[in-house]
Structure 1
Amino acid sequence: MTKPLLICDCDEVLLHMVSHFQDWLSADQSIHFDFESGKFADALIRKDGSVVPEAEVWPLLETFFRHEMHRQTLVPGAREALKELERHGEIVILTNIGDEAHGFRVDQLANLGLHHDVVTNRGGKGRPVRALLEKHVPSHAVFVDDLEVQHSSVAKHAPEVKRLHMVAEPRLAPVIPPADKAHARIDDWETATGWILEQWEIS
């Protein structure tokens, strides 16, 4: 009998990222990041008042993920939740960082006590989720992500997957509306664990 599958994002779901990215930008790059606004376009402002162009934002993120991942901290309850869910099913971390950072992410998660398969990706997650379904052939599958665009992508390419919208950063969650294509919005792991087990039909 096949096991159920959890396909889980990393940043702002398992690990805090934007708050640490904000701290690093301010301290090391003299850039203010107003992430609490929920508007990431034009949200990076240099100390002279100029907006950081979008073309420069991704290189800053790449630098952060390559050299500053040690700053990131676990979301409360995430490790305990995955430990419980692993008793009943399989877990894959699907994270939107470059393939070159795969090893960094694996080591980062392992150092925090999370030992799960990690799949890196660029862009929409719908096709990678479809590929994971074909690989694992799970009895049930749940996808967890903080971005509305990813729920839309998975709804398009793997509509049978149950989709949970989670924004675990407490300063960001209030300004992010529930994703239209998600089946539920839950921002804490204690509640989310029960919901996932229900979708897996585990009592």
Structure 2
Amino acid sequence: MTCLAVETGEDLEIGARPLLVVDVDEVVLQFVAPFKAFLRANGHALNLETFSLNGNVISLADGRRVENARVASLLSAFYDQQEDWQKPFAAARETLEDLTDIADVLLLTAMPPTHLEKRRRLLSRFGFAFPLIASEKPKGEVLRTLCKTHPPQLIFVDDMLYNCRSVSECLPDALTINLLINDDYRALAPKTMPPSVVATGWDHAAAIIRRHVADNG
């Protein structure tokens, strides 16, 4: 597979090997903890009472919940500065590198492509030498377009169940893994429902992936 960062994936070459597609925020890179720290440094706090950023960000000045538009603005500012705040989960790079013996790896991040190059630099700093797509489109649509000519055996990993559902709807034969590493975050998340399966860490996810590839090889 061609190794480059692209906006939508048109320049990627998909081969015949199984394809492992992996989300970035809170899957490869830590998101919740650094975003909380970023907010506090900028006069806000994230109090997760529901599985959403909207409605859970408060102003430290007056304790009020901030409007969704302000949350979006803070998130964009965080992504502008992501290289100063985000670090990978300890096992992510090693696990993905180990899995390249059975699959090609592609990173698919849900963010405006304007942040793509900063994300690429951040990932490269920590040794993630995998192709990267940044798109705000539904992930199922992105992957259906990417795999339409030579659809490989597809495994998809994401912390958001709605992204797993999007992929399952567009590519029913794909294995979708709902990876929820943070215990507190997992407790608030929607219950993982079939056809997706839940994984609680990278070791767990790797075992599921290897078993699936072996059973479907």
- TM-score if structure 2 supplies the norm length? 0.85
1:172 aligns to what SS in structure 2?
Answer: helix
| Distance across 2 between alignment mates of 1:40 and 1:111 | 27
Amino acid at match of 2:160: L
1:201 aligns with 2:214: yes
> How far is 1:158 from its partner?
1.2
1:180 aligns with 2:183: no
| Distance across 2 between alignment mates of 1:172 and 1:69 | 23
1:112 aligns with 2:126: yes
> How far is 1:36 from its partner?
6.1
Structure 2's unaligned 5+ residue stretches are 1-14
| Distance across 1 between alignment mates of 2:148 and 2:84 | 34
| Distance across 1 between alignment mates of 2:117 and 2:150 | 22
Give the superposed CA RMSD. 1.9
One of 138, 149, 154 as aligned partner of 2:162 = 149
- Residues 40 and 170 (structure 1 numbering): CA distance in 2 closer, same or farther, change over 3 Å? same
1:66 aligns with 2:80: yes
Report the equivalent of 2:24. 10
- 1:64-110 CA distances to partner (integer Å, 9 max, x unpaired)? 01113331121121111101111221111010011111111111111
> Are the aligned partners of 1:8 and 1:93 in contact in 2 as well (CA < 8 Å)?
yes
One of 174, 190, 196 as aligned partner of 1:161 = 174
| Distance across 2 between alignment mates of 1:7 and 1:99 | 18
- Residues 21 and 44 (structure 1 numbering): CA distance in 2 closer, same or farther, change over 3 Å? same
- 1:45-67 CA distances to partner (integer Å, 9 max, x unpaired)? 11202211011211211110111
One of 193, 205, 211 as aligned partner of 1:192 = 205
| Distance across 1 between alignment mates of 2:48 and 2:89 | 17
Report the equivalent of 1:80. 94
Amino acid at match of 2:211: E
Report the equivalent of 2:111. 97
2:141 aligns to what SS in structure 1?
Answer: helix
- Residues 83 and 44 (structure 1 numbering): CA distance in 2 closer, same or farther, change over 3 Å? same
Amino acid at match of 2:172: P
| Distance across 2 between alignment mates of 1:132 and 1:77 | 28
Amino acid at match of 1:190: D
| Distance across 2 between alignment mates of 1:13 and 1:30 | 26
Aligned length: 201
Overall identity of the aligned pairs, in %: 25
Structure 1's unaligned 5+ residue stretches are none
> How far is 1:142 from its partner?
0.4
> Are the aligned partners of 1:9 and 1:93 in contact in 2 as well (CA < 8 Å)?
yes
| Distance across 2 between alignment mates of 1:40 and 1:100 | 21
> How far is 1:38 from its partner?
3.1
